[in-house]
Amino acid sequence: MSRTTRATRTTPTYDVIVIGLGGMGSAAAHHLSARGARVLGLERFGPVHQRGSSHGGSRVTRQSYFEDPAYVPLLLRAYELYEQVERDTGREIAILCGGVMVGRPDGRVVSGARLSAETWGLPHEMLDAREIRRRFPTLAPRADEVALYERRAGLLRPENTVAAHLQLATRQGADLRFEEPVVRWEPCGAGVRVHTPDDTYTAGQLVICPGAWAPELLADLGVPFTIERQIMYWFQPTGGVGPFLPEHHPIYVWEDPEGVQAYGFPAIDGPELGAKVAFFRKGEVCTPDTIDRTVHPHEVAAMAGHMSRQIPLLPGRLLKAATCMYTTTPDEHFVIARHPAHPESVTVACGFSGHGFKFVPVVGEIVADLALDGATAHPVELFDPRRITGPLPAAAPA
Annotated binding site for FAD: 15-45
d(CA 206, CA 78): 23
3-state percent helix, strand, coil for the chain, nearest multiple of 5: 30, 25, 45
Q: DSSP labels for 153-214?
A: -EEE-HHHHHHHHHHHHHHTT-EEE-S----EEEEETTEEEEE-SS-EEEEEEEEE--GGGH
C-alpha angle 288/262/69, rounded to 5°? 90
248 close to 266: Cβ distance less than 8 angstroms: yes
Instruction: Name residues whose C-beta falls within 8 Å of residue 217's C-beta, 6 or more positions apart in sequence.
Output: 19, 182, 185, 208, 210
The residues facing 348 across adjacent strands are: 208, 337
Interatomic CA distance for residues 176 and 169, integer angstroms? 8
d(CA 279, CA 302) in angstroms, rounded, equals: 10
Check if the beta carbon of residue 28 is closer than 8 Å to that of residue 364: yes
| Amino acid at residue number 331 | D
The string of DSSP letters for 319-372 reads: EEEEEEEEEE-TTS--EEEE-TTSTTTEEEEE--TT--GGGHHHHHHHHHHHHH
Q: Do β-strands 13-19 and 200-208 pair in parallel, antiparallel, or remain unpaired?
A: parallel
As annotated, the binding site includes: 15-45
> H-type helices in the chain, by residue range?
23-34, 72-89, 108-120, 129-135, 158-171, 214-217, 297-308, 360-373, 386-389
Q: How far is C-alpha 171 from the chain's CA centre?
A: 24
